Amino acid sequence: MSTVTNHEVKATKLTKELLVDAYRMVYMSRRVDDKEIQLKRQNRAFFQISGVGHETIGVAAALHLKAGYDWFYPYYRDRALCLQLGVTPYDMFLGSVGAQDDPASGGRQMPSHWSSKKLHIVSQSSPTGTQILQAVGAAEGSQYFELVKEAAELAKGFHADEVVYVSLGDGASSEGEFWESLNWACGRRLPVFYVVEDNGYAISVPVDVQTAGGSISRLVKSFPHLLVLECDGTDFPESYEAAGKAVEYVRQRKGPALIHAHVIRPYSHSLSDDERLYKSDEVRQEEARRDPLTRLANLLRQEEWVSEKALKEIEAGVDREIREAVDQALAAEPAPPNTVLRFLCSPTVDPTSSQFDQPAKFHGEPKTMVDLINAALRDEMARDPRVVVFGEDVADCSHENELPKVKGKGGVFKVTHGLQRHFGSARCYNSHLAEASIVGRAMGMATRGLKPVVEIQFFDYIWPAMMQIRDEALTLRWRSNNDFSCPFVIRAPIGGYLAGGAIYHSQSGESIFTHLPGLRVVMPATALDANGLLRTAIRCDDPVLFLEPKHLYRQTHNRAPYPGRDYMIPFGKARLVQEGTTLTIVTYGSLVHLAVQSLKPLEQEGIQPEILDLRSLNPYDWELIAASVKKTNRVLVLHEDNISWGYGAEIAARIADELFEFLDAPVRRLAAKDVYVPYHPVLEDAVLPQPADIVRAARALASY
């Protein structure tokens, strides 16, 4: 039975050269997969996931796109797309064997996690669907560069008709991030070209179970401005035509486009899977009839565009290239083990260095923490057009025509008040209510050279963004071996002592973030520190979590005059709040002031605590802690977050480990009880450390 469809017969619109080249690429992709499977079976590669069955749509899409000009967020089945863009079989085999010279990751990631700085293929991770929000962020970057020309000049590499390609499987289209991405991309008509490669299964789950009604294209058709096309992704002419229409639509800035391409997955999900466990022989045979490689070969034969001999010569040429590439890759060495810590953070910008230690030049009356954070944002936005602020409610008024008539919102705590009015709606705007989207898009924009400073409205609601933070933003530089990075700042009001904040507006949880390699975590306790640390955060080259104790936002005790537009405090430098001799209190955030309140009653008893405000939680100032403990020989670690497995546990463990011989008493911790913050103030007080608790703990330590 012939497998040639009507579409294939219409292929005369395509040139012979194009089809022959496409065949060569489809064949190459197939053979690289076959070879990698062999390497895996010989234990010379450690993982294999194939692009088999997806080759045609990949080559067709790539033929309409420009490597190193457009931007690419492919997924693991996109081997053929990447080959067509310019990744070589040799590059791919270096990834298979995990060689140091693997251009995608230097042996840090599994094969098929594509990355190429030169080609603009942004390093891919393994979580399904996370790349979609980042792609939308990259496209939001395109729109930003269009609107803020000075930023485009500084960031370089922007093209007015560039397209951001992103692909995903039918399974990944169930992730909430896919829907968040469509909502934003369609709302802002961003230049995103989505390809959903529907092979009918997500591992073993069939698409009719995965997707309501079994068709993702049917579901997305009502998104405004979205061009939705459906094609047989194993049919080259049909795929080529659909991709051409989609790319043209996006280049013309009509909005995003989505191709729903029906493909097959005949080699099981990965080499760890055996699809015969859940696909019957009939289903597998039916799929095999749509093999894109066979179909393209049949088309070439049917049209008599290549002789059998010429086809064999093409294949032999590819086989030869692959053999040589494999031999070369097998001789490649892995990276030396002592390089594993490299590139967690920027190798060129060190926020702990003296470059970030800039003195204050005070002006005017004392201001609150809210005022001085706002001032730092204003200064940085004025200094650098790449600084962009977005989040929920951060703008003054989304509808610009209403802006002159109102005072403006500027954040639920007013921290961003006036930024939209002053710098315009392109540089400070409201985001939709979707935290993963805020962080994922910030990451895509940062990859394009922008500096997003985004707000998570309350720390309590950061969790939907956790995947984007933990698995994406923090790993990007490391996993791409320093080819890509995404320095941006997440500001989040944190903590309790609000009297009424309750479970969902008073949470702490900083230790969950200080546990994450590659994240800078800071928490100022004064207005001045907030100003100086935020400037450092914005000029830093790494992702920063900037935690703002909201209890301290408008306190008068921590106010300071404006310190000037270049004031900076380096990360990893604690503040000596109070000198003392009896014991050291290591603390940060709201508890700094509570510790200060305990001084008077303690001094009356002859106890003189030394108080250290860490300010920066990762990195933290071990030198100052060590010097103080060596002097006082007693230490209390004090924090607002729950005690167990908390921030204090790490500090206490290190003190016990490295300063044991200087201690005259056990290292003590005082922190919140292991429970949530309740609504009633009396109950809240029972959970969070109080000044009287600090006095008791210090007294006990002093008399130990």
Q: Quick one: which segment of 91-99, 201-209, 347-355, 356-364 binds ligand TPP (CB under 6 A)?
A: 201-209
C-beta closer to ligand TPP: residue 203 or 665: 203
Q: Quick one: which segment of 168-176, 332-340, 450-458, 509-517 binds ligand TPP (CB under 6 A)?
A: 168-176
Q: Decide: helix, strand or coil at residue 24.
A: helix
Residue tagged 């007693």 (tokens): 634
128 binds ligand TPP (CB under 6 A): yes
C-beta closer to ligand TPP: residue 318 or 443: 443
Contacts of 345 (CB under 8 A, 6+ apart): 477, 518, 520, 541, 542
Can you tell me the distance from the alpha carbon of 18 to that of 12, in angstroms, rounded to the nearest whole number?
11
- Are 560 and 366 contacting, i.e. CB atoms less than 8 angstroms apart? yes
* Closest approach of ligand TPP to the CB of residue 482, in Å: 24
Contacts of 644 (CB under 8 A, 6+ apart): 674
Residue among 16, 21, 47, 127 that touches ligand TPP (CB under 6 A): 127
- Are 615 and 523 contacting, i.e. CB atoms less than 8 angstroms apart? yes
203 binds ligand TPP (CB under 6 A): yes
The residue with its CB nearest to ligand TPP is 169
Residue among 62, 122, 172, 227 that touches ligand TPP (CB under 6 A): 172
* Helix (H) / strand (E) containing 561: strand 560-562
Active-site entry in 269, 505, 551, 639? 505
170 binds ligand TPP (CB under 6 A): yes
C-beta closer to ligand TPP: residue 248 or 273: 273
C-beta closer to ligand TPP: residue 113 or 535: 113
Neighbours of 423 (CB within 10 A): 19
| The residue type at 358 | Q
* Closest approach of ligand TPP to the CB of residue 225, in Å: 25
C-beta closer to ligand TPP: residue 178 or 588: 178
Tell me whether strands 257-262 and 201-202 are parallel, antiparallel or unpaired: unpaired
Taking every pair of Cα atoms in the chain, the longest distance, rounded to a whole number of angstroms, is 100
Exposure class string for 597-624: b at 16+ Cβ within 10 A, else e: ebbeebeeeebbbbbbbbbbbbbbbeeb
Residue among 19, 59, 155, 202 that touches ligand TPP (CB under 6 A): 202
Q: Of 516, 596, 583, give the one whose Cα is nearest residue 557.
A: 596
C-beta closer to ligand TPP: residue 14 or 172: 172
C-beta closer to ligand TPP: residue 104 or 688: 104
Residue among 58, 137, 171, 493 that touches ligand TPP (CB under 6 A): 171
Three-point CA angle 380, 384, 390, nearest 5°: 65
Can you tell me the distance from the alpha carbon of 121 to that of 480, in angstroms, rounded to the nearest whole number?
11
79 binds ligand TPP (CB under 6 A): no
* Closest approach of ligand TPP to the CB of residue 128, in Å: 4
C-beta closer to ligand TPP: residue 77 or 120: 77
374 binds ligand TPP (CB under 6 A): no
Can you tell me the distance from the alpha carbon of 515 to that of 477, in angstroms, rounded to the nearest whole number?
18
Q: Quick one: which segment of 165-173, 441-449, 507-515, 596-604 binds ligand TPP (CB under 6 A)?
A: 165-173
C-beta closer to ligand TPP: residue 64 or 113: 113
Q: Any catalytic annotation for residue 505?
A: yes
* Closest approach of ligand TPP to the CB of residue 512, in Å: 19
Question: Mask 34-73, x = binds ligand TPP (CB under 6 A)?
Answer: ----------------------------------------
C-beta closer to ligand TPP: residue 40 or 448: 40
169 binds ligand TPP (CB under 6 A): yes
- Are 125 and 158 contacting, i.e. CB atoms less than 8 angstroms apart? no
Q: In the structure encoding, which two tokens stand for residue 345, read together?
A: 């953070």
Q: Quick one: which segment of 124-132, 358-366, 504-512, 564-572 binds ligand TPP (CB under 6 A)?
A: 124-132
* Closest approach of ligand TPP to the CB of residue 343, in Å: 23
Query: How many residues at the interface with ligand TPP, by CB under 6 A?
Result: 16
Indicate if the alpha-carbon torsion angle 24, 269, 47, 133 is positive or negative.
positive
Residue among 71, 201, 478, 513 that touches ligand TPP (CB under 6 A): 201
DSSP character string of 217-258:
HHHHTTSTT-EEEEEETT-HHHHHHHHHHHHHHHHTTS--EE
β-partners of residue 617 are none
φ, ψ at 577 (rounded to 5°): -80, -40
* Helix (H) / strand (E) containing 305: none
Burial of 649 (0-12, 13-18, 19+ CB in 10 A): middle
Residue among 5, 126, 143, 339 that touches ligand TPP (CB under 6 A): 126
Tell me whether strands 164-169 and 192-198 are parallel, antiparallel or unpaired: parallel
Q: Quick one: which segment of 19-27, 126-134, 363-371, 523-531 binds ligand TPP (CB under 6 A)?
A: 126-134
C-beta closer to ligand TPP: residue 196 or 614: 196
- Are 267 and 52 contacting, i.e. CB atoms less than 8 angstroms apart? yes
* Closest approach of ligand TPP to the CB of residue 463, in Å: 15
* Helix (H) / strand (E) containing 304: none
> What is the chain's length?
704
Residue among 105, 199, 368, 514 that touches ligand TPP (CB under 6 A): 199
* Closest approach of ligand TPP to the CB of residue 204, in Å: 9
575 binds ligand TPP (CB under 6 A): no
One-letter-per-residue 3-state SS of 594-612: HHHHCHHHHHHCCCCEEEE
* Closest approach of ligand TPP to the CB of residue 201, in Å: 5
Footprint on residues 257-276 left by ligand TPP (CB under 6 A): 265, 269
* Closest approach of ligand TPP to the CB of residue 506, in Å: 30
77 binds ligand TPP (CB under 6 A): yes
Q: Quick one: which segment of 166-174, 450-458, 489-497, 628-636 binds ligand TPP (CB under 6 A)?
A: 166-174
Catalytic residues: 505
**Positions in the binding site for ligand TPP (CB under 6 A):** 77, 126-128, 168-172, 197, 199, 201-203, 265, 269
